[in-house]
A = this chain, B = another copy of it.
Amino acid sequence: MVYLKIRKTVSPSPDKQGHTRGYVIPIGGAEERANSPSILEKFVSLCGGDSAHIVIIPTASVLEDTGDRYVEIFRNLGVKSAVSLTINDRADAGRQVHLDEIAKADGIFMTGGNQLRLSTILGGTDIAQKIRKMNAMGVHVAGTSAGAAIMPQHMIAGGSMGNTPSNDGVNLAPGLGLVNTLLIDQHFSQRDRIGRLLTAISYNPYMVGVGIDEDTSIFIDSDQRFEVVGSGTVTVIDPSDLSYTSMSKASGGDTLSLLDLKLHVLSVGCQFDMGQRKPYPPPE
């Protein structure tokens, strides 16, 4: 019964004023930025195109110019108003000037870097709450690499490379909570991360695991249905029918057994209904 309830209320923190939730757009990293940047173009288009106000949160990155580079990328895509917020510590994260910027945003973009920087600097701050609230009110939130990892309620913070799940193969941490029925991993094929995603699912098989390749993204709409955009694939692992896992008995790096998982490999145009847990091919 609890299980069914979780599956039916898939949208986190629903807005009570009747707003339609904005898209949540995790990107697998290394998205194309110059030649046919299909992901960023679609994000910009959703936000209103040239007239969009895009707010960039470069906190995951330790490079000083990351935010400015994205300002330029969005300007090159025709966006007249793009701004990067300098948030390098928890004090920054409480500044009213940043909250005011986010309040004006049509779209919020979180860059790559280290997702633990994002979660430790933003976690529990007014900025984090504001991002969630704005998304619930209709603002679209995209994030690439670490910026994608931070999005779910349960964030993959790190783990082992390789195909083989093992009982200590992944580190989870609380994330931003924009999505609460997916576990998201990124750079998925490129960094060989099926094993750690399988391990993460095995910890509590109520969530669907989603591995997103580089230059690939999912656009999650307010009905909790997502579409794949980009050049790679999205690997969906659904433990709905899981009949057996050895996780409860495993110790000390044991490899795991996981029987009766569902697997979907989704390329551009494919959709997935997170409530029904059902994949769809691209429309004809």
Listed in ascending order, the chain A residues whose CB lies under 8 Å from chain B are: 162-165, 188-190, 192, 194-195, 198, 211, 213, 231-233, 235, 237, 243-244, 246, 254-267, 270, 279-282
Contacts and interface: CB of A to CB of B under 8 A. Distances in A.
Nearest to A258: B265
Report the copy number of this chain in the oligomer.
2
B279 A163 contact: no
A35 to B, nearest CB: 17
A281 to B, nearest CB: 4
Contacts of A235: 163
A248 to B, nearest CB: 11
B270 A265 contact: no
Given A246-B267, A261-B264, A189 B213 contact: no
A165 B257 contact: no
Given A246-B281, A257-B266, 9 more contacts: A163-B188, A163-B194, A163-B213, A233-B255, A257-B265, A257-B267, A257-B270, A259-B281, A261-B262
A163 B282 CA distance: 21
Residue with the greatest number of chain B CB neighbours at <10 A, chosen from A163, A190, A260: A163
Contacts of A164: 189, 213, 232-233, 265
A259 B270 contact: yes
Given A164-B189, A235-B163, A262-B261, A267 B255 contact: yes
Nearest to A254: B267
B163 A192 contact: yes
Contacts of A233: 163-165, 255-257
B263 A263 contact: yes
Contact of A264 (B213, B255, B259, B280): B259
Contacts of A261: 262-265
Contacts of A260: 262, 264, 279
Contacts of A259: 264-266, 270, 279-281
A48 B178 CA distance: 60
